[in-house]
């Protein structure tokens, strides 16, 4: 290992001496939430301890400011590494020629075998353009005490059981599901899972790639199934008025029983509520369709215009190590993509890991998998549908018009 380290450092030093660049490694990140910030600081400290000849310059941005500034600093004053998302969000910058091909890192570190679940999420045309450091499983976070109050003794595994459970909760005076759609994206989780459970991953991927009309009967079937819940009053009232955080008090106060969301929700529950919160995966709708999951993946990327690509690759190799991913994902309350890493010892991490391990395949998330402009129109449509399901034909026609504008007629 020491010989490998010396070899890598020697390679980096040779390249830097030749080009005249210092051994500063500049990282721009959008990891501004407290757990994210701590995870990045720990990761950088551990890297600098392992490679003391590299001085990391860490620039932290909040999420929205990062999105606005990203294209500018990729083209004008590029850092050496950047945090971003796998899937279509990554592909946008690959297609613009702004992200570096790092297939050599995947090959040298044998990541194709060590991180099989995220190979596709990091690929464009058979080449790898990033190294994932954490991902997570979506699912239902529910209050066990409220389920027990409604006489529910076990979680549902299929759609009919889910609907029956919802009716039991309503009979007990509890709204089955809380959601805040002012942010738009929480509704997209519902669309993703319903489409994946009804039509499968190949159809979902084709739809995300603009190869299927939104007026297709298979898409309409997704909304017909969703309408069973919307028209059945399964969701909290006036959800477009609430951000995803503002919808949490419905669970905290015992007015709603569950929330379809990602594991970052766990740290947001007050301690007295958290002890009663459990997790279950989205139920099966069609048993003939494989089990496919949303598993949004966060990754590091090297800009094409980076100055210190040698040390950037050294950092990617470090990030991919099993023990490093164990620590980073554990701090984030997320899951490590490296199959040799250890999952954090809590019920949520273990449940998510088990679900992703048995999945037939994964997708990223609606606004990460499709064109950003289409995602915005689509999510606006999902929000509107959850308020007015009778408008579905007009909503789908509007989304389809945007798909055709971006991808062309079919």
Determine the Cα–Cα distance for residues 121 and 134; give it in Å rounded to an integer: 12
pLDDT band at 62 (very low <50, low <70, confident <90, very high): confident
Contact by Cβ (8 Å): 86, 130? yes
User: Is the pLDDT at 2 greater than 50, yes or no?
Assistant: no
Instruction: For the chain, give every domain's residue range.
Output: 2-135+297-363, 139-294+371-407
If one compares 170 and 30, the residue with the highest pLDDT of the two is 170
Query: Looking at residue 65, what is its pLDDT?
Result: 83
3-state secondary structure the chain: CHHHHHHHHHHHHHHHHHHCCCCEEEEEECCCCHHHHHHHHHHHHHHHHHCCCCEEEEEECCHHHHHHHHHHHHHCCCCCEEEEECCHHHHHHHHCCCECCCHHHHHHCCHHHHCHHHCHHHEECCEECCEEEEECCCEEEEEHHHHHHCCCCCCCCEHHHHHHHHHHHHHCCCEEECCCCCCCHHHHHHHHHHHHHHHHHHHHHHHHCCCCCCCCHHHHHHHHHHHHHHCCCCECCCHHHCCCCCCHHHHHCCCEEEEEECHHHHHHCCHHHHCCEEEECCCECCCCCCCEEECCEEEEECECCCCCHHHHHHHHHHHCCHHHHHHHHHHHCCECCCCCCCCCCCHHHHHHHHHHHCCCEEECCHHHHCCHHHHHHHHHHHHHHHHCHHHHHHHHHHHHHHHHHHHCCC
User: Is the pLDDT at 35 greater than 80, yes or no?
Assistant: yes
Mean pLDDT of the chain: 91
For the entire predicted model, the pTM comes to 0.80
Cβ neighbourhood burial of 173 (10 Å; 0-12, 13-18, 19+): exposed
Query: Looking at residue 297, what is its pLDDT?
Result: 92
Q: Cα dist. 398→75, 366, 373, 376, 394 in Å?
A: 34, 17, 13, 12, 6
Query: Looking at residue 17, what is its pLDDT?
Result: 39
Determine the Cα–Cα distance for residues 256 and 259; give it in Å rounded to an integer: 8
Query: Looking at residue 71, what is its pLDDT?
Result: 84
- The 10 Å Cβ neighbour count of residue 101 is 15
User: Is the pLDDT at 8 greater than 50, yes or no?
Assistant: no
Compute the average pLDDT of residues 37-51: 96
Query: Looking at residue 72, what is its pLDDT?
Result: 86
Q: Say if 2-135+297-363 and 139-294+371-407 have the same CATH topology.
A: yes
Nearest to 337 by CA among 300, 306, 382, 310: 300
Query: Looking at residue 15, what is its pLDDT?
Result: 43
Query: Looking at residue 49, what is its pLDDT?
Result: 96
User: Is the pLDDT at 13 greater than 80, yes or no?
Assistant: no
Compute the average pLDDT of residues 73-100: 92
Q: What is the pLDDT of residues 295-351, one digit of tens each?
A: 999 999 999 999 999 999 999 999 999 999 999 999 988 899 999 999 988 888 888
pLDDT band at 12 (very low <50, low <70, confident <90, very high): very low
The percent of residues in the chain predicted with pLDDT above 90, rounded, is 76
Nearest to 52 by CA among 80, 15, 18, 12: 12
Query: Looking at residue 34, what is its pLDDT?
Result: 84
User: Is the pLDDT at 291 greater than 80, yes or no?
Assistant: yes
Which pair of structure tokens corresponds to residue 43? 């990761």
Q: What is the pLDDT of residues 120-176, one digit of tens each?
A: 889 999 999 999 999 999 999 999 999 999 999 999 999 999 999 999 999 999 999
Determine the Cα–Cα distance for residues 261 and 144; give it in Å rounded to an integer: 16
Superfamily the domain 139-294+371-407 falls into: Periplasmic binding protein-like II (3.40.190.10)
- Right CATH for 2-135+297-363 from 3.40.50.10860, 3.90.600.10, 3.20.20.140, 3.40.190.10: 3.40.190.10
Compute the average pLDDT of residues 387-403: 98
Q: Cα dist. 165→149, 175, 261, 348 in Å?
A: 12, 11, 19, 21
| Lowest mean pLDDT segment, chosen from 11-20, 207-216, 229-238, 325-334 | 11-20
Query: Looking at residue 381, what is its pLDDT?
Result: 98
């Amino acid at each position: 290992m020491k010989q490998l380290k010396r070899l890598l450092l020697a390679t980096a030093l040779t390249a830097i001496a030749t080009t005249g660049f210092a051994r500063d490694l500049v990282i721009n990140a959008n990891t501004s939430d407290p757990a994210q910030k701590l995870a990045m600081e720990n990761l950088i400290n551990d890297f600098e301890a392992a490679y003391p000849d590299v001085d990391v310059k860490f620039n932290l941005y909040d999420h929205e400011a990062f999105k606005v500034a990203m294209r500018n600093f990729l083209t004008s004053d590029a850092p050496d590494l950047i945090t971003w998302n796998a899937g279509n969000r990554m592909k946008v910058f690959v297609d613009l020629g702004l992200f570096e091909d790092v297939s050599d890192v995947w090959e040298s570190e044998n990541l194709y075998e060590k991180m099989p679940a995220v190979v596709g999420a990091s690929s464009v045309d058979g080449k790898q353009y990033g190294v994932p450091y954490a991902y997570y499983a979506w699912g239902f976070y529910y209050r066990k005490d409220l389920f027990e109050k409604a006489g529910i003794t076990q979680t549902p595994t299929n759609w009919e059981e889910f609907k029956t459970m919802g009716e039991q909760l309503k009979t007990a005076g509890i709204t089955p599901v809380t959601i805040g759609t002012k942010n738009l994206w929480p509704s997209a989780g519902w669309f993703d899972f319903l489409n994946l459970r009804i039509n499968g991953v190949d159809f979902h991927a084709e739809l995300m790639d603009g190869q299927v009309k939104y007026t297709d009967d298979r898409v309409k079937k997704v909304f017909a199934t969703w309408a069973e819940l919307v028209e059945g009053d399964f969701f909290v009232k006036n959800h477009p008025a609430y951000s995803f955080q503002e919808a949490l008090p419905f669970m905290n106060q015992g007015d709603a029983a569950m929330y379809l969301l990602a594991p970052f929700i766990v740290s947001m529950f007050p301690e007295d509520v958290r002890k009663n919160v459990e997790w279950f995966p989205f139920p099966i709708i069609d048993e003939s369709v494989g089990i496919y999951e949303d598993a949004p993946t966060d990754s590091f990327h090297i800009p094409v215009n980076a100055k210190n690509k040698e040390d950037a690759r050294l950092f990617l190799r470090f990030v991919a190590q099993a023990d490093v991913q164990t620590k980073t994902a554990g701090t984030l309350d997320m899951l490590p993509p490296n199959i040799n890493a250890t999952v954090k010892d809590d019920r949520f991490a273990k449940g998510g890991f088990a679900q992703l391990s048995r999945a037939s395949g994964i997708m990223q998330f609606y606004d990460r998998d499709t064109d950003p402009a289409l995602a915005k129109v689509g999510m606006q449509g999902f929000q509107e549908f959850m308020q007015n399901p009778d408008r579905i034909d007009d909503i789908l026609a509007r989304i389809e018009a945007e798909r055709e504008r971006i991808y062309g007629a079919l």
